[in-house]
């Protein structure tokens, strides 16, 4: 097994791109990443995407994007794992390079949620849940998260206002990210006045429906030094899964899939949570941020929100999260999100995060979650000296 | 890179399973394959599927099937490449085992096309074509194939009745396959009277809309001998791609993706078409069977149909195809088809194909096509002595 490095990254601005098609979004990110890597050919293409069929009437994105990007003929796939599709695609690109079956691979995460052909995005996103036992009861994806949030508040005694800390932190960081959808700060007062979406989840507890694409180029680490001025090593790539339906879980307040995924990643990288300098977690809803901090080992059970309230999640804190805005403020084009997270970790490890730079960052972790915790993909990246 | 073997296979009967859900279909095939392999745990799960989102309102099949099959926690993915999804999933399972990143892997192809929630299957299948430039013009997938068939007849001077040979051969073989959807023979007369679907494609030129699942278990070849009484080596696993839209092709009568895919596979396996004892090709429509024979090197350009008419494709012929009924008569549950093909090649190489046994079969090839030739996945299997 070979060490694998990221030698190029690219991303589009996240937003409502009414005038840009899905294939163009993918192209822009892919071209940016290949330009950054300085390569003009790759062995294979992995496209992470969840909703192209449902929302744009287009499947078969592997061959489609390959051809549109001038890479006709190469091996190409679409990978789907709900909102974890992006990082799942990266995991498979990693497997190919680590195992020696490919040398240069490009992984693109892309989602086009505006301009939907048929159903609205909320209906489409319910396909991440269990169709027969959750969605068939009329439970939307935000409703599932609302139940988790209510239970968390009940079990641990937090008032809703405490969750403001996640949105405040994410928006503060997004101000300095030119690719973020919401480049403005929010306050606790604004959080308190935010429109209720699905009690207790309000607008500022929620990530937005949006479009975007991000890409990374992979190469064997030993070749990466000559290919890139600032390669970043993938020290771990791991997936853990759990039941899709929340009611089947051992404990709805514990993301067992995230515990499995995180622990597998720490073991691969040979580090512990104490070594992690920043953590791009999956804050699709603020409750997910709290649960992720706990499952990944940065807080005890029920203390994820406490850790955030004590300001440990800021750029200068013990465990900086959502350093470029996270799903909340950079935006959450679902199948692209896992790659955006990794692109941002690379920016941090390259020392190119500008005003949001985590000082001396060496180890960065990105965790992308599909569904309400059923597929959890963790990547740990290390700065190459 | 390690040699990889198939140590277990499983399949459900193909048909209209109105009383069986998608997750149950996947489960039955997976359990049959794991029982055949004699394993009760695997490292990862690859699910090949195209239409679960569009037709059953369910994405996230990786985690869903893993949990339902008692494999909660393992790494799991859904892979999509239109009608080539099944074999594309196998390709990725192969990459993981060949590269040493997994030891025991199960690959399931599954499709549930009856009981569709929203659109009919024909609309859903159009997502395999180019949404902006083909489907948006109202061109269905069968219409694209009808244009190809018309052009083939025009360019090479075949009357439509000549295509009967593919349906006759496929149905003859399906009679002896208990898992086939259509276990009855058809005649040239019946072909001549068959209902027109999309001129010149008639009902017997077309594979059916149906449900089904098939699975294979992979292991490193060196371990396979102790795990299985009849392991089969994967001598090649290769993908070639082409434009999704037919009008963008160099020549609409040539499947460049299939040429790439086949040649990559022959090179990996170290064999030529002359060595292949049977070829499970992608006869979604009879025109695809003709083009596949040509692209894979079994016939000159324009001679694929001639080769079939001269009875070279029967069990005792020079290049037996669709030996268990093919897409036409075994059935074409799209995301499952690529795995059915491989399961049938394994049956042949194990000498367990009964009345349809190809005598002395050592090398078997399976080729699964996504769209009208945009993703082509080829596997060459070798009997292990």
| B144 in the same domain as B91 | no
Report d(CA A80, CA A37) in Å as an integer: 25
| A223 in the same domain as A280 | no
Q: Closest Cα partner for A347 from A94, A8, A27, A4?
A: A8
CA distances from A264 to A269, A338, A378, B70, B231 (A): 9, 18, 9, 20, 31
Asked if A60 and B127 come within 8 Å (Cβ–Cβ), the reply is: yes
Label residue A117 by pLDDT band (50, 70, 90): confident
Quick one: average pLDDT of A171-178?
Answer: 98
Could you tell me the sign of the dihedral formed by the alpha carbons of A183, A184, A188, A194, in that order? Answer: negative
Asked if A375 and B76 come within 8 Å (Cβ–Cβ), the reply is: yes
For B62-101, the pLDDT digits (tens) are 999 999 999 999 999 999 999 999 999 999 999 999 999 9
Quick one: average pLDDT of A90-101?
Answer: 98
- Above 80 in pLDDT, residue B118? no
Q: Closest Cα partner for A84 from A287, A383, A379, A305?
A: A379
Q: Is A332 a catalytic residue?
A: yes
The last residue of a domain, from among B178, B198, B227: B227
| B88 in the same domain as B169 | no
Chain A residues 56-85 within an 8 A CB cutoff of chain B: 56-64, 66-67, 72-82
Percent of chain A whose predicted confidence (pLDDT) is above 90 = 95
The answer, for B135 touching chain A at a CB cutoff of 8 Å, is yes
Quick one: average pLDDT of A159-174?
Answer: 98
3-state SS class at B380: strand
Residues paired with residue A381 on neighbouring β-strands, in sequence order: A234, A364
In a domain, A289, yes or no: yes
CA distances from B293 to A81, A262, B158, B296 (A): 35, 48, 16, 5
Mutate to test the interface with B, among A131, A255, A379 (most CBs of B within 10 A): A131
Q: Closest Cα partner for A127 from A95, A164, A81, A87?
A: A81
Report d(CA A1, CA A382) in Å as an integer: 17
For B219-251, the pLDDT digits (tens) are 999 999 898 889 999 999 999 999 999 999 999
Burial of B137 (0-12, 13-18, 19+ CB in 10 A): exposed
pLDDT of residue B368: 98
pLDDT of residue B227: 87
Quick one: average pLDDT of B299-313?
Answer: 97
Is the distance from CB of A29 to CB of B337 less than 8 angstroms?
A: no
Whether cis (ω within 30° of 0) applies to the bond prior to A200 is yes
Q: What is the DSSP string of A164-228?
A: HHHHHHHHHHHTT-TT-S--S---HHHHHHSPEEETTEEGGGBPPP-BEEEEEEEEEHHHHHHH-
Report d(CA A222, CA A7) in Å as an integer: 11
pLDDT of residue A380: 98
Nearest chain B residue to A241, by CA: B73
| B64 in the same domain as B8 | yes
For A9-20, the pLDDT digits (tens) are 999 999 999 999
Residues in chain B: 385
Which residues of chain B lie closer than 8 angstroms to A78, CB-CB? 79-81
Q: For residue B244, which phi and psi values (nearest 5 degrees)? A: -75, -45
Is the distance from CB of A74 to CB of A106 less than 8 angstroms?
A: no
pLDDT of residue B229: 86
Quick one: average pLDDT of B148-156?
Answer: 98
Neighbours of A234 (CB within 10 A): 25
| A274 in the same domain as A222 | no
Quick one: average pLDDT of B142-170?
Answer: 98
Report d(CA A378, CA A356) in Å as an integer: 22
- Active-site pick, B160, B171, B282, B332: B332
| B187 in the same domain as B60 | no
Mutate to test the interface with B, among A50, A63, A112 (most CBs of B within 10 A): A63
Predicted TM-score (pTM) above 0.95: yes
Report d(CA B266, CA B273) in Å as an integer: 8
3-state SS class at B75: strand
pLDDT of residue B237: 98
In a domain, A107, yes or no: yes
| B194 in the same domain as B143 | yes
3-state SS class at A59: coil
In a domain, A368, yes or no: yes
Asked if B257 and A63 come within 8 Å (Cβ–Cβ), the reply is: yes
Label residue B171 by pLDDT band (50, 70, 90): very high
pLDDT of residue B115: 85
In a domain, A133, yes or no: no
pLDDT of residue B116: 84
Number of domains in chain A: 2
- Above 90 in pLDDT, residue A228? no
Label residue B36 by pLDDT band (50, 70, 90): very high
Q: Is B198 a catalytic residue?
A: no
pLDDT of residue A227: 87
Beta pairing, strands A232-241 & A212-220? unpaired
In a domain, A126, yes or no: no
CA distances from A198 to A284, B178, B328 (A): 14, 51, 49
pLDDT of residue B212: 98
| B255 in the same domain as B303 | yes
Q: For residue B13, which phi and psi values (nearest 5 degrees)? A: -65, 140
pLDDT of residue B117: 78
| B219 in the same domain as B248 | no
Label residue A195 by pLDDT band (50, 70, 90): very high
DSSP, res B315:
T
Which residues of chain B lie closer than 8 angstroms to A77, CB-CB? 79-81, 88, 92
| A183 in the same domain as A45 | no
In a domain, A129, yes or no: no
pLDDT of residue A113: 96
Q: Could you say which of B23, B128, B375 has the minimum Cβ distance to residue A76?
A: B375
Mutate to test the interface with B, among A46, A133, A244 (most CBs of B within 10 A): A244
In a domain, A130, yes or no: no
pLDDT of residue A385: 81
Quick one: average pLDDT of A259-281?
Answer: 98
| B305 in the same domain as B222 | no
Q: Closest Cα partner for B279 from B354, B194, B170?
A: B170
Report d(CA B15, CA B168) in Å as an integer: 19
Report d(CA B91, CA B72) in Å as an integer: 23
Which residues of chain A lie closer than 8 angstroms to B237, CB-CB? none
Report d(CA A258, CA A367) in Å as an integer: 8
Report d(CA B187, CA B202) in Å as an integer: 14
Quick one: average pLDDT of B295-312?
Answer: 97
3-state SS class at A46: strand
The answer, for B126 touching chain A at a CB cutoff of 8 Å, is yes
pLDDT of residue B120: 86
Chain B residues 206-265 within an 8 A CB cutoff of chain A: 238-244, 248, 256-257, 260
Is the distance from CB of A303 to CB of A291 less than 8 angstroms?
A: no
Query: Which domain does A276 fall in, by range?
Result: 138-203+233-383
CATH number, position A109: 3.40.47.10
Q: How close B155 comes to chain A (CA, Å)?
A: 26
Which residues of chain B lie closer than 8 angstroms to A121, CB-CB? none
In a domain, A128, yes or no: no
DSSP, res B255:
-
Percent of chain A whose predicted confidence (pLDDT) is above 70 = 100
The last residue of a domain, from among B164, B195, B227: B227
pLDDT of residue A229: 86
| B190 in the same domain as B61 | no
The answer, for A118 touching chain B at a CB cutoff of 8 Å, is yes
Asked if B374 and A64 come within 8 Å (Cβ–Cβ), the reply is: yes
The last residue of a domain, from among B170, B195, B227: B227
- Above 90 in pLDDT, residue B53? yes
Q: Could you say which of A62, A91, A243 has the minimum Cβ distance to residue B72?
A: A243
- What mean pLDDT, rounded, does chain A reach? 97
């Amino acid at each position: 097994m070979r060490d694998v490095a990221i030698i190029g990254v690219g991303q589009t601005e996240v937003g409502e791109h009414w005038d840009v098609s899905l294939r163009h979004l993918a192209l822009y990110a892919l071209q940016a990443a290949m330009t950054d890597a300085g390569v003009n050919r790759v062995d294979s293409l992995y496209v992470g995407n969840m909703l192209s069929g449902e929302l744009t009437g287009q499947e078969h994105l592997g061959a489609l994007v390959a051809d549109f990007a001038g890479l006709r003929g190469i091996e190409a796939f679409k990978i789907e794992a709900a909102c974890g599709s992006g990082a799942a695609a990266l995991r498979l690109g990693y497997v190919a390079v680590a195992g020696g079956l490919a040398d240069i691979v490009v992984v693109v995460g892309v989602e086009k949620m505006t301009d939907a052909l048929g159903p609205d995005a909320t209906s489409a996103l319910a396909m991440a849940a269990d169709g027969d036992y959750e969605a068939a009861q009329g439970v939307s994806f935000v409703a599932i998260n609302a139940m988790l949030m209510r239970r968390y508040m009940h079990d641990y005694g937090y008032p809703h206002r405490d969750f403001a800390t996640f949105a405040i932190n994410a928006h503060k960081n997004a101000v300095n990210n030119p690719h973020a959808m919401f480049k403005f700060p929010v306050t606790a007062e604004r959080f308190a006045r935010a429109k209720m979406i699905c009690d207790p989840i309000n607008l500022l507890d929620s990530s937005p429906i949006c479009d975007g694409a991000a890409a990374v180029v992979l190469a064997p680490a030993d070749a990466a030094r000559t290919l890139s001025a600032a390669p970043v090593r993938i020290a771990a790539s791991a997936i853990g899964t759990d039941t899709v339906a929340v009611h089947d879980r051992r404990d709805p307040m514990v993301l067992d899939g995230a515990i499995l995924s995180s622990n597998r990643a720490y073991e691969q990288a040979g580090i512990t949570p104490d070594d992690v300098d920043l953590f791009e977690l999956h804050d699709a809803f603020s409750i997910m941020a709290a649960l992720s901090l706990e499952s990944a080992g940065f807080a005890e059970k029920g203390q994820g929100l406490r850790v955030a309230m004590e300001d440990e999640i800021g750029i200068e804190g013990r465990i900086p999260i959502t350093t470029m805005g996270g799903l909340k403020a950079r935006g959450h084009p679902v199948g692209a999100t896992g790659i955006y997270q990794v692109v941002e970790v690379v920016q941090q490890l390259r020392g190119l995060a500008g005003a949001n730079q985590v000082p001396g960052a060496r180890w960065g972790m990105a965790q992308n979650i599909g569904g309400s915790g059923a597929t959890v993909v963790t990547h740990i990246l290390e700065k190459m000296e």
